[in-house]
Amino acid sequence: MDTNTTKSPMAPLELGFNIDHIINIRQARFTPYPDLIETVKAVEAAGADAITLHLREDRRHIQDDDVYKVRKHCNTRMNLELAATDEMTKIACDVQPDDCCVVPEKREELTTEGGLDVITHFDRIKKMTQTLNQQNIKVSLFIEPSIEHIKRVSDIGAPVIELHTGTYANATGDAQKVELERIQYASEFASEQGIQVNAGHGLDNLNTTAIASIPQIQELNIGHYLVARSVFVGIEQSIKEMKQIMLDARV
């Protein structure tokens, strides 16, 4: 009997769990709980493939100390999100995460709004990418699904992009369809250039299937929805449900 017939024809899709929103709760009262290490262990035990965390310049959730603790206790993959600054480059070189996702950052924003402008900030991002490449840290650039921006990624030397799905997630009806097509086209284009494609932002139980169905996408980074869902069903169930949505989308 051919046991391969039931296998998914597409490459597996990994889930990076963004822990920032759990740490937001801790920082709201400066309590020791929810405990960071307990969080990492619970998320990994539930089947997440990577721990994603964003050390923001204003340190509103993740603290410097947390980054070192995650490095020590993470048994999957550590994906550190950070702005393109000298301070963050230095911290990344010291911490040695497996992956670094370079994101734009504005102090007044609620969350990461918009992708990195790799055209305007080409030199700065290239310099940072090269420094991290030399440390064998896999660099991902968080960008809009724009061909013009993807064209600059190879010149920068980043092996990975994370496509910003925020506009898609916030749109409805035809506007959402148009944005999905942009993400599909950008994924194909980047993959043809030999760039690994990840995606994330604003993904939830209703809008993830269409993104997870894009065959070039290799990883989704999700935080807010998973933490919100875990209030009702627990973190393990929340992750398992999302992994199932992702798996079903790949068949």
Residues 32-71: x/- map of binding to ligand PXP (CB under 6 A)? ----------------------x-----------------
Among 76, 89, 112, 184, contact with ligand PXP (rule: CB under 6 A): 112
Contact between 105 and ligand PXP per CB under 6 A: no
Contact between 115 and ligand PXP per CB under 6 A: no
The two structure tokens encoding residue 145: 């699904």
Nearest-approach distance from CB 205 to ligand PXP, in angstroms: 12
Q: Which of residues 229-248 bind ligand PXP (CB under 6 A)?
A: none
Q: Which of residues 184-203 bind ligand PXP (CB under 6 A)?
A: 200-203
Rounded CA-CA distance 239/40 in Å is: 13
**What would the 3-class secondary structure string for 9-63 be?**
CCCCCEEEEECHHHHHHHHHHCCCCCCHHHHHHHHHHCCCCEEEEECCCCCCCCC
Which residue, 88, 171, 166, 83, is CA-closest to 121? 83
Q: Is 105 one of the catalytic residues?
A: no
Nearest-approach distance from CB 224 to ligand PXP, in angstroms: 3
60 CB-near residues (< 8 Å, 6+ apart): 24, 27
Nearest-approach distance from CB 9 to ligand PXP, in angstroms: 27
Long-range pairs for 184-190: beta carbons < 8 A, 24 or more residues apart: 184/214, 185/145, 185/147, 186/145, 186/146, 186/147, 186/150, 187/145, 187/163, 187/214, 187/216, 187/217, 188/216, 189/147, 189/150, 190/150, 190/153, 190/161, 190/216
Total interface residues for ligand PXP by CB under 6 A:
19
Contact between 142 and ligand PXP per CB under 6 A: yes
Q: Residues 61, 149, 164, 201: which is the catalytic one?
A: 201
Residue 5 or 186 with smaller CB distance to ligand PXP? 186
The two structure tokens encoding residue 71: 């490095």
Among 8, 75, 96, 111, contact with ligand PXP (rule: CB under 6 A): 111
- Residue numbers annotated as active site: 54, 81, 201
Q: Which residues bind ligand PXP (CB under 6 A)?
A: 18, 20, 54, 81, 101, 103, 111-112, 142, 162, 200-203, 221-225
